[in-house]
Structure 1
Amino acid sequence: MLPTPLLIYRQNGEQIIPKRLPINPRTCDIATDLITCFREAVGHTQGQLKSQLSELEGDSPDYRLKRGLAHLLKNNFSTFEIVSPLEPKELRQRVFTLSAQSLPCRAATEATLETLSSTLTQELHQEVLPSQIRTGLYADLPENRILTQFDDPAPEALLHRYNLSQVQGIFYKASEMVLNAHRNVPGEYKLLFRYLKLFGLMTYIEGDADHGFTITIDGPASLFKTSTRYGLAIAKLIPALLHVTRWSLKATLQMRDPYTGTWKSGRFCLNDKCGLVTHYPPGKPYDSMIEASFANRWDSLKTEWILEREVDLIPIPGSVMIPDFRLVHPDGRDMLLEIVGFWRPDYLQKKFSQVRRAACDNLILAISERLNLDKAGVKLERVPAQIIWFKDKLSPKAVLEVLDQ
């Protein structure tokens, strides 16, 4: 995504209109020049790349456009690494300690580097040159990090990413978003709700899979204190929404007038005909590393219970619940598994409220021992589920013990 200074939009009354680049030879040429600049910078420092980008930018009136494209290339397609024989902090300590034993002069500096070069070559069992020590001393500074890998996109793909990022930036200051998803296949609803859960968005959901859902999402500007992190979470939802076939949304924005500094309301609308292109894969995301680790380790168990990721929606008033997994036995038994590892008090209150209202008689609740349920006001004796406690990782064997009971 793009930082606020690189967002470009205009306002028509209350309607906010973000900048969208056409995919044509001119814009593709701009994208190609920037991609080539990054490709040729592989093996060089970030500072050298910055200088090349400034030279390419020149005095062009499109400087914000070029900076936006460069920002996306740097943050989404490039890998910068610290290249040094040792961690730069340790290397500096070794060099300064050794150099303190002689008077500062050019000859002493070269002798210090040669001495440390020989020492490190023996310690690390690989040749360490004096020049590597010299460049590695401050390799941890951002401008000295090396571009080690660049996964160059097609120019059209970069322009699509730019257009999507401009739209995402609109939601940084949203106070509310109302999303209507209708007449879609159930799998698309499930994917959408999983992303809502993954990004920790505060939602109120009405409807059902047959007639569609109306999803009201509180924005970062509706909180007591505007949260940049929460605004980014809403923006991250937009690429996931593009996997849904039929939808429309309306957002209310709180924008600061650049001339008066006062806050005023804005409006933004978007639907499935927007022409934006997502970069999210269509697969089902895991909500956490705990879930991913559990699913990967389940396959190593010798059991007839089959772990399924595809779980039906459980409708409850004002929301839906999607358990993380279903466990199915060949004899027809099935159990639902929900993993609770997130700590925020309002999330815990909402989660356990969902569990009580769902009233499932085949639910297993795996709860992290790190959670302070008392502080969140959660009473486990009122939760209609079988409880499993875990520390860092949820053990598949612990779940299997409950299943076998």
Structure 2
Amino acid sequence: MSDLVEKLVCDNVKALTPYESARRLFATGDDTQSQQVWLNANESPFHNAFQVDDSRFNRYPDCQPSGLIKAYAKYAGTGIEQTLVTRGADEGIELLIRTFCNPRTDSILICPPTYGMYAISAQTCDVAVKKVPLKDNFSLDVEAICQHKDQVKLVFVCSPNNPTGTSVEKQQLRSLVEHFANSALVVVDEAYIEFDKENTWATELSRYPNLVILRTLSKAYALAGLRCGFTLASSPIIKALLKVIAPYPIPEPVAQIAQQALTEAGVDNMLKQVDYLAIQRNKLHRYLKTIKQVELVGDDKANFILFRTPLKSQLMQFLVEHNVFIRDQSKQLNLNNCLRITVGNDQQNQHLMDLITSFYNTQEIA
């Protein structure tokens, strides 16, 4: 860092450790992408075709494209006044913090191990982060969370949770939403809800004015490269967020493709792909249970599997050497020696399983 940058940069940014995304950890040139198997970012293995009309590319896009808002509201079962489209769910996280938390004064609450961007977005905005760890079985410690009433503005709950794959019991969430009814927003991150659709809270928005839902097209819809997410909440919350959001957050091509993905045919295609991934996930799950050096961790309510092995580092290195990338989660609280595998297609998963078998066979011989 240069002397000038060191002098000018914000104090909270100096201390910030950036989010280690899959592409930051394993950045490569495009010429090698086809030779690699990416199973570390919870992306879909599918790539679906879309048509784009370029006749409006010379114009700024609508801040909230009405066709897209209507399409997602219909899909989620919400009102259009309860629906905001953002640049991925990550922008929704940051908007909530910027809108409702005063820098150097307010706090958010998170429940690690969980998605890292809640804390990083707060720290970037100079907002404090209070932590109530999940219990040993990765359920919420509701009693401990409730002790923070009037101490936090936002309570972030990821369900299904990344990286544990666990869903939060509805009664636990109901207790939190009701407990913080007059003091904080309870933000339920449903990025993986299509893999656990019976547990959505989107239908409860009208009942709980302090409830916020985060959604994305990155996972089940196979559109991670599009960067399109949604924040679902009461109309007053949406209106407050609209004061803070950028004037043109959704590029025209993104709006067009997202709207196509949300047609009846697009939704049907997504559901078929989710069913396929569930079959592949179960196959991978059964395979890992046969390896005595592997302990399955958490649950499988999303498109990934978390496991623990004492040979974590060696296995990771072996897979990287063979151009297969999974995710090391061992830095997270209570996840020592844990690795996370994104469920790929049959060919990718079989290749991964063959490599894992080869690795452990080699270890036994050694």
Name the TM tier (shorter chain).
under 0.3
* Bigger share in strand: 1
> Larger Rg: 1 or 2?
1
Higher relative contact order (CA 8 A, sep 6+): 2
Give the TM-score taking structure 1 as reference length. 0.25
